[in-house]
Chain A
């Protein structure tokens, strides 16, 4: 038929799959003459391996069973004590962050609480400048060892 020859010509001339697919759908699948030039479903089935030939899956199951058991154990273990690594790392990081934040908050509350502020260890008493009677004075600072008390002795300069 002329239309079949035309279709075949266009099929060969334009090697684009969507174009060829369109030609197959539009003409070849509907044309009895073109279908007769193709192997039928039954003919293809007779050539192919078919599911009926593999009904006995015991061999496949024998290979699968130990692997499935291993996979199941791994899955159970993951659901129990040992979660996947990224979850474990995330949990540990969150725990560390919570501990650090609590420690910092505790220190902040303690340091800003009521009452006289105690000198911190390592804090030094210092005076920049002392004047007596409007004139610069000599200053002596004395702190007994082991005591927090500080004596300041100022003497008028002559």
Chain B
């Protein structure tokens, strides 16, 4: 999915940013903000936390841009920061989520995945709770960004084999949810 043109644009963007301070940063946020937001929403399951995480991640990028290794993909570096920040938020909120899980025994969110589902909609609760945060990260990068297992391993800092297992488990769980008619996932 990633082309040489993308890499050149990326390097040009970083070059402008290093030369011009915060002036070129808006271009960077416009180029990578949507992808980062989608990743954070898919990991965290809500927009508010995702915005906080993206804000922190971009600030970290701005402050530590001198540490960026141009030999590495900038996108991968940014996604690593976003996913780590998101994992930190999840850790902090784990207790709260446990409480919410116990408290919300009413029917779970149900939706119909029509021809054109809302692209900003977070993962349904049922999927969110069935997948681990690392599985959600791997799945999001695989589906949205077209990353390979090797690329995802760079973001999650684990082996490609581990990523294959994450992807396999996650895709299997989703297929299982789609096939078993629990009124949770329905296609057309």
Contacts and interface: CB of A to CB of B under 8 A. Distances in A.
Contacts, number: 139
B117 A46 contact: yes
Given A43-B174, A69-B22, A53 B55 contact: no
- The DSSP consensus for interface residues of chain A is helix
Contacts of A25: 161, 164
A67 interface: yes
Interface stretch (B2-10, B88-96, B99-107, B138-146): B138-146
Interface residues of B, number: 51
A136 interface: no
B121 A53 contact: yes
- The DSSP consensus for interface residues of chain B is helix
Interface in A61-95: 61, 63-64, 67-69, 71-72
Interface of B: 21-22, 25-26, 29-30, 33-35, 37-38, 41-42, 51, 54-55, 58-59, 62-63, 113, 117-124, 127, 139-140, 142-144, 159-165, 167-168, 171-172, 174-175, 178, 185, 187
13 contacts: A21-B163, A24-B165, A41-B142, A43-B175, A43-B187, A49-B42, A50-B119, A54-B38, A57-B33, A60-B33, A60-B54, A60-B58, A63-B55
